[in-house]
Structure 1
Amino acid sequence: MDHVGAGYVDDLEATSATLVNGWLRTGDLCYFDNDGFLYVVDRLKELIKYKGYQVAPAELEKWLLSHPEINDAAVISYPDEEAGQVPMAIVVRQSQSSITEAEIIDFVAKQVAPYKKIRRVAFVDAIPKNALGKILRRDLKKLVTSRL
């Protein structure tokens, strides 16, 4: 633990959840490829919890961005009484595109497990991002909920 702090002041519970056997649990979801390269793909705090399943927004964003009529996309959680949260796509269409909510939902549904399906779609002119290009999900949630 030479390079990690000793823990949280007066919070043993937070310390024990974050520091495990000398390792710092960052909350990053990563994987190594066959060549040994490490990829950070998402954050645990950003996971959508749909009926007890965990859905990674980054996976759904990858599928959305593969559609030729989608210029940019982000996925956020949307509150749902029955499921707790549902994945909601925020989409920037390509110019001249008239892709619909139903078409987007269907496109993603063909690529992913049923619990990962997009359940709602909103269209925007731009996805809010910071200077490094990271999606500002809190700003996006505020934007979307103010419009609905």
Structure 2
Amino acid sequence: MDAPLPHAAPTLSLEDASQLRLLSIFHYVVAGLTAVFSLFPLIHVGIGIATLTGAMPINSNGGPASPGETQLFGWIFIVIGSVVILCGLTLAGFMAYAGRCLARQRRHTLCLVVAALSCMLMPLGTVLGVFTLIVLLRPAVKAAFDAPAPFQP
């Protein structure tokens, strides 16, 4: 009796494969732009540090501010700026990783989640996210992502 043949991996149409390749490249580009723009709050971190060190004194109601107000102001700027930078760089990292996953046709759910999150970044991220969602929700593309990876020694 013959052994059962291994299940053939679904093949993508030329159009689907080229669209995944383009989406992968665009994910890298938008990830780079996201990383650059997420560093803008460094200005806020700098203001917070300058306030804490006394290089930039603040006044409340025309009079000198108390040391507690000055420290609170500085720490608020540092914490909020740092959180925004961290979130932006994390999103940029996930976008770059999703670009790699799109090229290798792996981690379909991760690519869907990152595409949905990139819709927040208007206008480029929104366009990229919508087109990525459209391509990833095609049955043939989903089947290609679900197929087992070929063995590579």
Higher helix share: 2
Same fold per superposition (TM over 0.5):
no
Q: TM-score, normalised by structure 1?
A: 0.27
TM-score by length of 2: 0.26
Q: Based on CA coordinates, which of the two structures has the bigger radius of gyration?
A: 2
